[in-house]
Amino acid sequence: MNWLQLLSHKRPGESQNIAHDQTRSRFEQDFDRIIFSHPFRKLQDKTQVFPLPEDDFVHTRLTHSLEVSVVGRSLAKNAGIYLLEEYPELSKAGYTVHDFGGIVGAACLAHDLGNPPFGHSGEDSISSFFLTNPHGQFFENKVSKEEWKDLTTFEGNAQGLRILNSKGNGGLKLTYATLGAFTKYPLSSSCEKEKGRKSQKKFGYYQCNASLFAEMALEMELVELAPNKWSRHPLAFLVEAADDICYHIIDLEDGCRLGLVPFDQVKNLLAEIIGASYSEEKVQKIASQNERLGTLRAMAIGQLIQECSEAFIENEKAMREGSFDTDLTSLIPSAPALKKIITLSIDKIYRSKLVLEKEAGGYEVIDSLIDSFANAVYANQFDKPLPKHKSILRLLPEEYEVQLKGVESVYEALQIVIDFISGLTDSHAVRLYKTIKGYRLPV
């Protein structure tokens, strides 16, 4: 892989390259398009870890995505300084450090767009509907083997790529470079996964986006490992690192603010990352615990940005060759401290009663919603709808009704249903569930 191809600012469907504009690059346009998009705005009411938080300090998917974008931009600019010196042809083509920051910043903004309500429990409940619910199992013989694999293994990353390239979401049409950096798992759901390759832990695109991804891979000259399977775009490693840094540190911060983890324990873990720059005396001079947490968090993130930038530079050549395939945060000096943080977070935060209650409720809400809408859509498109089905369909927003018109594939109809369900905010999903179940009848 070469960087001139990897930094392609062409958009899907464009037949010729457009000159790179340094005033407002296409990568900055990508960033702006995501910020102003409807799917991005809905992240303000989607669970990060803690459900429907009342505490001002607890993060939602929106605040998480903004913070990941800031960290990713810093990582990319550090990498960009090295790359521009190492490959003079990039400067000659007009690229600057701001282009690297723009690509990774935009990809980071979008990295959680495909996540459904209620976090990972929402993902699991969509998959389990098709796997275990008789109403979901009904569809198995109505789609291909590859399409069934998509339905039974819902994946937020693949759903995100679908959203970014869906005409129903305003046609964002991001550049190939941003889409490449966004795709952490460049393979389809039906591919056999190789052990030890981080980029094959999950999958990154559905069958409906297979031709699009092949087009992306060809344009950027990604290394093809097998049919429907490629190596990562190198900048995807920075997007992953930015996400890892934020959820390791900020979930811990939120857990402390909610009283799930003692402050002294958090302080000691963050001090381990900060290293020689840590000063207990200076920490004690800070007035409130919230301010202390904020200062320690900022210092820890700054240190992790530096370490991950260095790890990227050390492995950049192997990334371009397609031989490097692990997460940067596992290679840095602070890796042992991060491992301690994730172990503590699993025990004290992710398994807390507050989170487990959210997950249990999320399963019930999502399973019920997808059951109602999938069967109503199927009956209306391919069978004879009952009055109940017609009532359910009237709850669909207009844009989904428009997309369903003329759809002849059961798979595509179900994907549109999944677009709707996974795109709901937590609050909207709960309200819709209560409406369908009859708990919110008007009086």
Share of the chain above pLDDT 70, in %: 94
Token reading at 60: 């939602």
- Burial of 30 (C-beta count, 10 Å sphere; 0-12/13-18/19+): buried
Cα→Cα distances 292→257, 298, 302, 348, Å: 11, 10, 15, 21
CB contact at 8 A, 10 and 176: yes
Dist CA 369 CA 151 (whole Å): 15
How far, in Å, CA of 280 to CA of 271, rounded? 9
Query: Of the spans 38-47, 163-172, 293-302, which averages the highest pLDDT?
Result: 293-302
pLDDT category of residue 256 using cuts at 50, 70 and 90: confident
Q: What is the pLDDT of residue 88?
A: 96
pLDDT beyond 70 at 90: yes
When mean pLDDT is compared over 13-17, 272-276, 352-356, 436-440, the highest value belongs to 272-276
Q: How far is CA 337 from CA 48, 95, 269, 347, in A?
A: 22, 36, 6, 16
Q: What is the CATH number of domain 3-13+25-234?
A: 1.10.3210.10
The amino acid occupying position 437 is: K
Q: From start to end of 28-115, where are the E strands? A: none
CA 338 from chain centre, in angstroms, equals: 21
pLDDT at 440: 66
Residue range 221-248: mean pLDDT, rounded = 95
Alpha helices, H only, 322-425: 335-345, 353-382, 387-393, 398-404, 410-422
| Mean pLDDT, the chain, whole residue set | 90
Tokens, residue 74: 């810093």
Question: Where are the CATH 1.10.3410.10 domain residues in the chain?
Answer: 236-353
Indicate if the pLDDT at residue 216 is higher than 60: yes
Q: Of the spans 57-66, 169-178, 215-224, 347-356, which averages the highest pLDDT?
A: 215-224
CA triple 2-183-20, angle to 5 deg: 50
Residues of the chain with CATH 1.10.3210.10: 3-13+25-234
Report whether CATH 1.10.3410.10 matches the domain 236-353.
yes
Token pair belonging to 285: 């001079």
- Estimate to the nearest angstrom the gap between the alpha carbon of 148 and the chain centroid: 22
Average pLDDT rounded to a whole number, residues 113-136: 91
**pLDDT: is 89 or 352 the higher one?**
89
What's the angle, vertex CA 360, arms to CA 160 and CA 123, rounded to 5?
15
Q: Which two tokens stand for residue 335?
A: 């890796």
- Amino acid type, 167: K
Cα separation, 152 vs 374, whole angstroms: 14
Looking at the predicted structure, is the pLDDT value of residue 348 above 60? yes
Q: Above 80 in pLDDT, residue 53?
A: no
pLDDT at 164 over 90: yes
367: its two tokens: 């399973």
Token duo for residue 218: 């060809």
> Which of 135, 159, 154, 146 is CA-nearest to residue 373?
135
Q: Given pLDDT bands bounded at 50, 70 and 90, which one contains residue 21?
A: low
Q: Which two tokens stand for residue 235?
A: 């900048």
**pLDDT at residue 418, as a whole number:** 96
- What token pair was written down for 361? 């409720």
DSSP 230: E
User: Would you say 26 and 175 are in contact if contact means Cβ atoms under 8 Å apart?
Assistant: yes
Q: What is the C-alpha separation between 390 and 401, in angstroms, rounded?
A: 12
Please name which of 125, 135, 163 lies closest in space to residue 43, comparing C-alpha atoms: 163
Query: 351 to each of 111, 124, 246, 309, 357, how far by Cα in Å?
Result: 24, 16, 19, 32, 10
DSSP letter for 101, please: H
Q: How many C-beta neighbours within 10 Å does residue 409 have?
A: 15
Helix, strand, coil percent content, the chain, rounded in steps of 5: 65, 0, 30
Mean pLDDT of 232-241: 97
79 closest CA partner among 62, 58, 95: 95
- Provide the β-strand partners of residue 229: 187, 226
Return the pLDDT at 72.
98
Strand partners, 187: 229
Q: Tokens 């001090």 sit at which residue?
A: 271
